[in-house]
Amino acid sequence: MKLLETLCRIHAPSGNEQKLKEFLLNYITEHKSKWKQQPVILHGEGFQDCIVLVFGKPKSAIFAHMDSIGFTVRYGHQLVRIGGPDLESGYTLVGEDSQGEIECTLAFDEESGAISYAFEREIERGTELVFKCDFRETEETVQSCYLDNRLGVWSALQVAETLENGIIAFCCWEEHGGGSVSYLARYIHEQYGVTQGLISDITWVTEGVHAGKGVVISMRDSLIPRRAYVQRIISIAKEAGIPYQLEVEGAGGSDAKELQRSAYPWDWCFVGAPEDNVHTPNEIVHKKDIEGMVALYKVLMEKL
């Protein structure tokens, strides 16, 4: 969990994933010698701030977005949302501009809808502010801001340790409209012929999805994946004896939208742990669901 805490503390809102990219590249370089299969590491020109790891002869690809929600400083003390953060006056926000480090307070006017910050000075426009990290761990749960999706990134790194054949793509911008998966999907298909995608992300606890009851396999959200592909994933989970829950929603989405709308025949399925207190500084996930998420991804990357 120390690695997960470190990931949650890194400043990487949508559009500014560079610090997390650099951390991941250093982590991969340091640890890959202990992995079962040495990956080809693709990044830099043509990939923007994304990282693609290619193991052996891949047949499937994991997509895990690196970015988080947050706020951009506008004019005066105004804030503009990055993605869909929860709005509650009193949340502590942190960031940095040319005048130094910032720790300020979110102010939200429910009547007017105005979002602003309280700080001793005016923060430079364009500065990004994110929730201050307060990482809490118990025997059963972990709680922090940005488990969505640092937990999806963490899970992919666990899978990388034993992965023999497959691709792991760390992508950008998911919380604020996406964009990077479109060109990653094209590259991966054209270079490796892969068209099976898994979305390593975090979903929600709802009336039908419960904490501690298993990793979630999403049958649909605002989009509908190909049923035959989802059924294969369910069959693999059932055969492996890994506890899972089926999710059916009519709203929401993920990086999968760029796979489904691709000019290439990508299949996709969202597989991830459920969290409560979504998009707040207090996101919470059950450790049993985290364990199940890693276990299922390892099996899927072998069997698909």
Q: What is the sign, positive or negative, of the torsion defined by CA atoms of 27, 139, 149, 240?
A: positive
The H or E element spanning position 269 is strand 267-272
Give the pLDDT of residue 126: 98
User: Cα separations (Å) of 59 from 51, 54, 171, 187, 302?
Assistant: 18, 10, 19, 14, 9
| DSSP H stretches of helix in the chain | 2-9, 18-31, 147-160, 180-192, 227-240, 256-260, 287-303
Q: What is the Cα–Cα distance from 285 to 148, expressed in whole angstroms?
A: 10
Q: Are 149 and 32 spatial neighbours (Cβ–Cβ below 8 Å)?
A: no
**Domains annotated on the chain, with CATH:** 2-68+136-303 (3.40.630.10), 70-131 (2.40.30.40)
User: Cα separations (Å) of 133 from 28, 45, 115, 145?
Assistant: 24, 32, 20, 6
Angle between helices 18-31 and 147-160 (to 10 degrees): 20
The structure tokens listed for 258 are 């760029």
Query: What is the chain's pLDDT, residue by residue, as a tens digit (304 residues)?
Result: 999 999 999 999 999 999 999 999 999 999 999 999 999 999 999 999 999 999 999 999 999 999 999 999 999 999 999 999 999 999 999 999 999 999 999 999 999 999 999 999 999 999 999 999 999 999 999 999 999 999 999 999 999 999 999 999 999 999 999 999 999 999 999 999 999 999 999 999 999 999 999 999 999 999 999 999 999 999 999 999 999 999 999 998 999 999 999 999 999 999 999 999 999 999 999 999 999 999 999 999 999 9
User: Cα separations (Å) of 130 from 88, 165, 204?
Assistant: 13, 36, 21
Give the pLDDT of residue 113: 95
Using DSSP, state whether 102 is helix, strand or coil. Answer: strand
Q: Are 219 and 256 spatial neighbours (Cβ–Cβ below 8 Å)?
A: no
- Other Cβ atoms closer than 10 A to 168: 26
Give the pLDDT of residue 3: 98
